[in-house]
Amino acid sequence: MRRPGAVIRELGAGRFLAVQLTLGAEILSAMVHGPLAIWLANALLDPGIVIAPACLAVAALSYMAGILMALAAPGRKDARRLMLALSLPVYWPLQSLAMLRALYGLVKCPHFWAKTPHGARR
pLDDT per residue as tens digits for the range 45-82: 998 888 888 988 988 898 899 899 999 999 999 999 99
Amino acid at 56: L
pLDDT at position 43:
86
Alpha carbon distances (Å) from 18 to 4, 21, 22, 42, 56: 14, 5, 6, 35, 29
pLDDT at position 11:
93
Confidence of residue 110 (pLDDT cuts 50, 70, 90): confident
Per-residue pLDDT at 91 exceeds 70: yes
CA-wise closest residue to 39 among 49, 29, 48: 49
Per-residue pLDDT at 116 exceeds 90: no
Mean pLDDT over each residue of the chain, to the nearest integer? 89
Q: Are 99 and 31 in contact (CB under 8 A)?
A: yes
Q: Are 93 and 37 in contact (CB under 8 A)?
A: yes
Domain boundaries of the chain, sorted by first residue: 4-108
Residue, of 7 and 118, whose pLDDT is higher: 7
pTM: 0.68
Longest dimension (CA), the chain: 59
3-state class of 28 per DSSP? Answer: helix
CA-wise closest residue to 33 among 102, 73, 91: 91
